[in-house]
Every structure is written in structure tokens, then in C-alpha cells.
Chains A and B, each alone.
Chain A
Amino acid sequence: MKILVCISHVPDTTSKINFTENDTKFDSNGVQFVINPYDEFALTRAMWFKEKQAASITVITVGDATTEPTLRKALAIGADNAIRVNATATDGFAVAKELAAVVKNDTYDLILAGKESIDYNGGMVPGMLAGLLDYNFVNACIGLEIEGEEATVSREIDGGKEVLSCNLPLIIAGQKGLVEEKDLRIPNMRGIMMARKKPLTIVEPTASDTATKSTSFEKPAAKSACKLIDADNVDELINLLHNEAKVI
């Protein structure tokens, strides 16, 4: 089984979010970039298929050269090879088109991605990729088993879950549940050494048009101070929630 894992290179969850150039660009100064947390679940599930079902794993990102350490980290965790499409990811549709071009060239049985990236939170690349390739697609995936050509997939629905079945090829957009948090992999020394020698191919973009563009960013308005209520005066909290905030 050939697996492709789509990796997004995102600011670490503790990053201070600031903008430059008149609030048009994300300020990456001093920001640590990591594998998108949702993609880590996908990559870990892929590792399970590699170890138990002899699958091969390619990781891919659409991004400039600064994203390479993130791909190397995925290789250190255990992916076999990496592809970087040499384009700045600005629009989800354009990213999906670049990924689709790679997959059309070299097919995969299973494509795993995270359900959204924690920077732009677009939540569109996996679904669009599935639409462009006409692959089966399951969003918000919380469980995936594969037996030969057949997949059993669970997805989270509002207030529950749905179990689906289909044949490969399949694209899933994963989240926690696909694997457990405690099973997430961190690269070890040997993995890091081996990753240096694993192939990282750079592919030139097909220069798709963009469908959307970010024109500017804004930060949330400063919040007014928290009103403290004495622990012995719970009535006052109820009063404020009822009469001031009007939420109960």
C-alpha cells in the first residue's frame, strides 16, 4: 500500500500571533514551526500501516524551502521519502491543485491529511483534493482500518459518530481519535540521522490560479478586565449573568 501524508508547516501552538507589512503578512520572527498537530495524527496512523501492513509512506508539503525542516522531521518519525512542491501556499484551492498534480503523476492508495491547519484553519485541502481526483473522502476522521482493498472509516458527526466503508483509493482528513495522543511519535536520534539521507524531491508548481487571497489580518480587540466575584457571593454571579450579560 502506498500512502501519501499531507503535511502542513505551521507555527507552534504557543506562538504569539503578530503581523507585519501593514497587517498583511504573518510575522514569523521568533516563531517555531512544527508539523500541524492534526497531520501528526495522520502521520502516526500511516506509521502503523507501515509497521503492520508494510505500507510505504511519502510525505508532501506545498511550501518554500523554509518548510524543509518540517518535512525532515516527518522523515525522522519514519516516512520513507518526501516531496516539496516549491510554491508558497496562500490559497487552499491552489494547494489542492498542486497536490492533485503530484498524485495524478504517481498514484497512491491512501492519502492522509489533517482536518485543518492551525494557522489558516481553512479545512479545505483534503476535501478539494478528493474532489479534484474523484477519490473517496471522509472528513473529521476518528478511526481507520484497512483490510486489502477495503477501508472502514469512522467520522465524527455532531453528537456522535458514523462508520463508513469503501474501497481504496481513499482520502481522509484526520483528527484526534485516528490515533491516541499518547501514541504520537517523536523522532529519536536514529530517526533524525536516517532522515538526512532519505530522498526529499522538489517539484516545481503547475502555477495554478489562486481562488482566494488574504488581503489583511486583524487581531481581536483588547478585552475589558475580568469582573471578580467573591466565592461567598455566588448570587452575584447569577445576577450578573442574568441582568448584565443576559446569557441565562
Chain B
Amino acid sequence: MSVLVLAETSEGKFKKSTFEVTSYGKKVAEQLDTNLVVLAINATENETLYKYGAEKVLNVSDEALATFNAKTVANIVKQAAEKEKSTVVIIDSNANGLYLAPLVAVNLNAGFASNVISLPSSTSPFVVKRKAFSSKAFNNCEISTEVKVIALAKNSYGVFENEVSGTTESFSPEIASSNLTSESIEQTTGTVTIADADIVVSGGRGLKGPENWGMVEELAAILGAATACSKPVSDLGWRPHSEHVGQTGKPVAANLYIAIGISGAIQHLAGINSSKVKVVINTDAEAPFFKAADYGIVGDAFEVIPTLIEKLKEFKAINA
């Protein structure tokens, strides 16, 4: 028996979310009184995973896997799970993880729970809590199959050190072919993505037009934050669709979410509710966002934000 975690790498380096799924996987393994195995593909720093509890790292190194293919990777996860007799397979909720998880579930004939936010409340029956109704509620979900697949929601568990003396074993699975060909990948570099960001700065229709986003971007840059927007802002073409957050856009589970000129419609709040601390800046004291926020300023964004930028610069100069 074992618990298997799939590590996500970017240019050979593990993403922070990999440390979170590894930390989580270690605890699940302890609950089941078994070991944690992490499957890493073309990764270079496998030892760093020992710190978070990986007793064994299965290292797959293959040029053919340089470009992600969901079917191929799902097939490798299956082979690893079978080899390690894994009863729980844990996957990260990034774009690639969410793409391949259902395929892994079919491969292993396993029940799948996505959006999981906490450790199993019981392992027999196996019950996990997950987000549902676009974070308006939680759902306790029992997985009854022998093998269980879990996608852990981002920033829901945290990263915990739990040093073990791990080993890395080289693993050469069969590489299944796929009829899907990757033609091109466009990736913005240098900016923080909403999925990976600890802080998200988001603008709404209250900002009046795309020409006013300079201050949003500046604020985000100072905080090392990602920029986001409400749905009408992306529908109007002021900002790209990839920045649309909310029930029908991207979910945000950041440590800090700053909403500027956003009213706080139920569909918007649904998507950002999992963020830990919410700040709202809005001229209208009656805006529904104030009911959902932790901190609020009733004021004009065009006055408050430039001041906030100046003050944060001073703050960062001292606290860098």
C-alpha cells in the first residue's frame, strides 16, 4: 500500500503547490499507516521533497515528456500507482492536474473528488470535504472505490515541513502515444498567474475604463500580486478573459484579495470566497462586497489607490 502524489514542475523545478500536495499526501499516508511516494517527471531537485515527507521519489526522466500530454502522463500515473500499490492518488489543482485527473480516475477505475480542502475526516469509509456550489458550500464526499483520486484545492491545506530520509528511484514506465499534438505554447513570463499568486489585485467596472488599469498593475507589482478583474470588465474587452474571476471565471484562493471598484455580486463573491483575507475599496458604502470583506475603505479608488501605492512603497522600503 502507499499514497501517491504527482509532482508538478516548471522547467525542472517544483512548484510551491507541489510542496502543498506533498505535505498533504504525507498526512494522508500517516492516517493510513503507510508511505508516501511522489512521482516526479523530468524534475531536477527531487531531494527537496524529502523535507515535506516524501519517503520515496519515483523519478521519470524522458525527453519525450518535455511537452505535457494529459493522456500520456495519466498513463504513467497509472503505472506508478500499480507498481506502488497506491490506494490514494493525489493531484494538484493546476491546469495540467485538473486536465489529467479524470483520466487517471478512469485508468484506475477510481472514484474522484476534486476541490478537496481538508484531510480525510475518516479513512474507512473514506470521506473528504470539498468545495461545491462555487464555494458557496462544502460537500462531504465518500469515495467507495478501492483506489481513490483526489485533486487538492490550491492553498487549502498549506505547506508543512516533515523531514524524512527519502530515496529517489528511477522509474521507466511505458510512454503511451497520444493523437493530440501540441502545436504551440504561449506563456506570459514575468507576471504572476492568478492560480499561483499569494496576492491578487482585482479591478471592476468602477475603474471606468482600460486606461485606468495602470494603477492596478502598479499596485500588483509592488505586492508581487497577480491582476484580475470582474466579469463585465473582461466582457467589455478592458482586460483579457484570463483575468476574469468569479463563479464563471477563475477561482481565487489567495492569501489576500484586493477588490477595487467591484460591487460584490453573488457570482463574483462565489469565485473569490476561498481567499483568506479580502479588502474592498468602493465609493458605495452599501456595496454588497463590504459584507464579504475583512477590511474595507469607503472611498474613491482614484484617490485611495495612488495613496496606497505611495504608502506601500514606503512600507516595502522598510520591510523588504
Contact = CB atoms under 8 A, between A and B. Distances in A.
B215 to A, nearest CB: 13
A152 B297 contact: no
Interface stretch (B37-45, B57-65, B93-101, B204-212): B93-101
Contact of A229 (B189, B276, B295, B315): B295
A214 interface: yes
A241 B295 contact: yes
Given A123-B114, A137-B71, A228 B298 contact: yes
B270 interface: yes
Contacts of A163: 182-186
B134 interface: yes
B183 to A, nearest CB: 4
Question: Which secondary structure dominates where chain B touches chain A?
Answer: mixed
Interface string A89-125: 0011100100000000000000000000011111111
Question: Which secondary structure dominates where chain A touches chain B?
Answer: mixed
Contacts of B186: 160-163
Interface string B104-132: 01110011111100000000000101011
Nearest to B225: A248
A227 interface: yes
Interface residues of B, number: 96
Contact of A212 (B115, B142, B234, B280): B142
A128 B223 CA distance: 39
Contacts of B159: none
Contacts of A121: 114-115, 131-134
A181 B236 CA distance: 10
A157 B277 contact: no
Interface in A198-236: 210-220, 223-224, 226-231, 234-235
A38 B247 CA distance: 10
Contacts of A219: 136-138
B143 A212 contact: yes
Contact of A231 (B110, B256, B304): B304
A127 interface: yes
Interface string B285-302: 000001111111111100
Given A124-B102, A157-B185, A176-B244, A215 B127 contact: yes
A142 interface: yes
A237 interface: yes
A132 interface: yes
Nearest to A36: B248
Interface stretch (B25-33, B46-54, B167-175, B305-313): B305-313
Nearest to B184: A163
Interface of B: 70-71, 74, 94-96, 98-103, 105-107, 110-115, 127, 129, 131-145, 151, 178-189, 191, 193, 195-196, 198-199, 223, 231, 234-235, 241-242, 244, 247-249, 255-256, 266-267, 270, 273, 276-277, 279-280, 290-300, 303-304, 307-308, 311-312, 315, 319
Interface of A: 11, 13-14, 17, 19, 37-38, 91-93, 96, 118-128, 130-132, 136-140, 142, 152, 155-167, 176-177, 180-182, 210-220, 223-224, 226-231, 234-235, 237-238, 240-242, 245, 247-248
